[in-house]
Amino acid sequence: MLRTRLLWFTAGFSLTGAAIGQFLWKDLWSDRYALSADAKQKFDALEARVSNLESNLRQFSISLAAYPSIEIYVRLRNRNRNGLESERVEG
């Protein structure tokens, strides 16, 4: 009788542990998938924004070529922002 009780206790304990393990595994797997999908979505959005900025930068540099005085102003303004002394450029 003691062996039968020990057998049923072991079987019940094992099945309960397996069920809990299965629930934990599913929960962790779904969290991992959700995190992966969220990261991929955010990186795709970031890549789209960077691509948009790069195309706008190309268009801006092409428009600056038509107006050299604006290009000089932009360069001087960037130097002032970086802490360099401004130079007087005429032309």
Residue scoring higher pLDDT (61 or 39): 39
At 69 the pLDDT is 61
Q: CB 74: neighbour CB atoms within 10 A?
A: 13
Residue scoring higher pLDDT (82 or 14): 14
At 86 the pLDDT is 46
At 71 the pLDDT is 61
Tens digit of each residue's pLDDT (9 = 90 or more) over 4-59: 999 999 999 999 999 999 999 998 888 888 888 899 999 999 999 988 888 887 77
Q: What is the pTM of this model?
A: 0.43
- Encoded amino acid at 61, one letter: S
Do residues 90 and 76 touch, judged by C-beta distance below 8 A? no
Q: What is the Cα–Cα distance from 4 to 89, expressed in whole angstroms?
A: 98
Considering Cα of 34, then 40, then 46, then 49, what sign does the dihedral take?
Answer: negative
At 58 the pLDDT is 73
